[in-house]
Structure 1
Amino acid sequence: MRRLIGWVLLALLLGAGYVALTQPGRLPLRLPWNQAATRPETPAEVPGPAPAGPLGDLSGAALRAAVARQPISIQALRARTYPGSALTVRQTLRAGVNYSRQVVSYQSDGLRIDALLTVPRGTPPQGGWPAIVFNHGYIPPAQYRTTERYVAYQDAFARAGFVTLKSDYRGHGRSEGEARGGYDDPGYTVDVLNAAASLKKDRRVNAKRLGLWGHSMGGQLSLRAMLVDPELKAASLWAGVVAGYDVLATDWNPPAGKRRTLDALNRRFLRALSPNASLRELRGRPIQLHHGTADKEVPYAFQRALADDLRAAGQSVVAYRYEGDDHNLSRTLGTALRRSVQFFQANL
């Protein structure tokens, strides 16, 4: 993973993912403020000067400007365009019970991104089928295969009459580009937003009835994408890495027997960089959360943190707690899938 360019560099842990097969790598947090200095380190590539004066004197305007310079920030992502492209069929797969399955590709940042597309059989409703951008969790890119993992999850939505598109993300499977991680690089989020834009171009899809489903790292990608694109109507997030960056920095897999801490300015910066700082801009679009209390990869506390943030921002949220269940909700999968399907039926 690459570090953020700016006077605070964030190298958060690689996303916990589909742990049935693998444990993701971890990277330590690096926050190179020099506590003895009166100004932060300034890499040569930073656009514009670093703020002068004592660290505690950073004004709200300067903080917002610093955050906006980070490519992963909501502000920077909103400044980009997401044209997507027509979906190009690469391979036709064995059909599901009542839907077709194809490996397709679309364009994102000039890269070919592969994805698994399902389309219901039969006559679509007026305006087209509702659709779900399906965002998987961390899987080591070299191990990722388009047609593996999440089969039961995607099948549940496809059977219920939704078009689904599971993006491989750049650097995964046969997708072009470099896999740089989902937290301190914008690439995966850009791929998700271009996936949504590509679905909007498809005549079989109702562009006004698009939602997002995300697991683990895909939960954060979905939340960020929803804040960037106001046309995405609803999101169901499972075991998501969805606490604020300030919480992730201190509470996600700290070294045994040690406690990570942040000084006040780093905490403010990471908080402002988080999608959680922009939740008021959901403007009532609903979020549904699912998390198991025995999740060893992503703490259940992260769901509580996002739910609290959403409520504080006056937003709609329904949060389900699965006592004793794991990162993949293996014990209560049927119940969680049924709730997600009903959520999208009600909101798309």
Structure 2
Amino acid sequence: MLMFQKLFLLVLILAIVLAARSFVNKEGGANLSSVIEENLGGLIEEKDVHPLQIAEMRKKEYPGSEIVVEQELANGSNYKRYIASYKSEGLKIYGLLMVPQGAPPDGGFPAIIFNHGYISPEVYSTTEKYVAYQDGFARNDYVVFKPDYRGHGNSEGKPEGAYYSTAYTTDVLNAVASIQKLPDVNPEKIGMWGHSMGGHITLRSMVVTNDIKAGVIWAGVVASYEEMAENWRRDRPWRPSTRETESFRPTRQQLTDKYGDWETNPDFWDSISPIKFVADISGPVALHHGAADESVPWEFSESLKNALEKEGKEVEYYTYQGAGHNLSGNAFGSAMSRSIAFFDKYLK
């Protein structure tokens, strides 16, 4: 398929060059290089551009909106809980919002955008999963907002995925802008937490915007696309859900068919890999990974640690012997305490 596309492009280029020569002959004084650039430049540029590229994502705007409280839930120990909504690319996106009950500190509360891992959109629920994780941050005087990515729960839009679409990261970046508008939030004290797929979203967000001052990633899919393809062997084969299939969720094969693989076109794959842009990361990062994780290899976190250290960035790295993908059991308490301390260090 790729060879056919390249052959077609070469034929097209030849046709344009011949047409340009004919035009020059007729017009006399026309400059051949100008004619070719005018007719061909846009074509070549368009072929090499994809919305997933970090450079392209940086060109976009993520204005967010006012956050609207849709439903008041039962309070936590020292914080209020709400189902809230905001706008992302015109879509209404829901999320779980937690707000401390006490008086805000000078400048407002720090806030954490909480990026959940992969959950089948058909079974996802705003108030289920990650309850203890969010409670840990909210009890320590953080505003916590967990966006329901598009196509999840009651959020509008299609569940396009995080690795080969900008959709979920766009929703998260608009959540950042929205939480910065919330009364009693300090817009300069925004952190981000992500698990598994949410870790990928966190890393991508932190190399696209400068608004995220600290990031914590648990069991993150944070390796390069090459490493993901060659070394990611899950404990059970993954299949897209019915809703994702019906939404024509983008795939790696589609990008490979158009751009080639990482051996034939490494520049393209580097251009969409957040780990290749950590020289520009917006703040310090803490990485946590279970050594017995059978869903996402702990080596992914080690790769990111090494990349951050190579660029002289601040990074904390913890592995937990015997712990699985969710860092449950004894590892959970240690990982939560370290995560809270990390956010306290950089956001308070």
The TM-score, its normalising length taken from structure 1, stands at: 0.79
Q: CA deviation at 1:240?
A: 0.1
Q: 1-side partners of 2:72 and 2:7: how far apart?
A: 53
Q: Deviations over 1:129-153 (max 9, x none)?
A: 0000000000000100000000000
Counterparts of residues 77-96 of structure 1 (less than 5 Å): 77-96=57-76
Q: 1-side partners of 2:8 and 2:221: how far apart?
A: 28
Gaps in structure 2 of 5+ consecutive residues? 14-43, 237-260
Q: CA deviation at 1:267?
A: 3.7
1:217 corresponds in structure 2 to: 197
Gaps in structure 1 of 5+ consecutive residues? 1-31, 43-47, 50-63, 257-261
Of 181, 187, 195, which residue of structure 2 is paired with 1:201? 181
Cα 1:203–1:233 change in 2 (3 A) is same
Q: Does 1:167 align with 2:147?
A: yes
Q: Does 1:346 align with 2:345?
A: yes
The TM-score, its normalising length taken from structure 2, stands at: 0.79
Q: CA deviation at 1:205?
A: 0.3
Verify the 8 A CA contact 2:99 2:138 in the aligned structure 1.
yes
2:220 corresponds in structure 1 to: 240
Q: CA deviation at 1:266?
A: 3.5
Q: 2-side partners of 1:65 and 1:125: how far apart?
A: 49
Q: 1-side partners of 2:262 and 2:220: how far apart?
A: 26
2:231 corresponds in structure 1 to: 251
- 1:265 is matched by which residue type in structure 2? T
Cα 1:292–1:67 change in 2 (3 A) is farther
Q: Secondary structure at the match of 1:265?
A: coil
Q: 1-side partners of 2:55 and 2:69: how far apart?
A: 33
Verify the 8 A CA contact 1:68 1:74 in the aligned structure 2.
no
Cα 1:99–1:67 change in 2 (3 A) is farther
Of 311, 316, 319, which residue of structure 1 is paired with 2:317? 319
The Cα RMSD (Å) is: 2.5
Of 84, 89, 111, which residue of structure 2 is paired with 1:104? 84
Q: CA deviation at 1:65?
A: 6.1
Q: Deviations over 1:5-51 (max 9, x none)?
A: xxxxxxxxxxxxxxxxxxxxxxxxxxx644xx793887xxxxx98xx
Q: 2-side partners of 1:270 and 1:231: how far apart?
A: 25
Of 136, 153, 163, which residue of structure 1 is paired with 2:133? 153
Q: Which moved more, 1:153-162 or 1:225-234?
A: 225-234
Q: Does 1:129 align with 2:96?
A: no
Q: 2-side partners of 1:33 and 1:263: how far apart?
A: 13
Cα 1:254–1:39 change in 2 (3 A) is farther
1:305 corresponds in structure 2 to: 303
Of 265, 287, 294, which residue of structure 1 is paired with 2:285? 287
Verify the 8 A CA contact 1:137 1:216 in the aligned structure 2.
yes
Q: Secondary structure at the match of 2:83?
A: strand
Q: Percent identity?
A: 46
Verify the 8 A CA contact 1:216 1:240 in the aligned structure 2.
yes
Q: Which runs of 4+ in 1 moved over 3 A?
A: 64-68
Q: Secondary structure at the match of 2:213?
A: strand
Aligned length: 292
- 2:278 is matched by which residue type in structure 1? L
2:164 corresponds in structure 1 to: 184
- 1:108 is matched by which residue type in structure 2? S
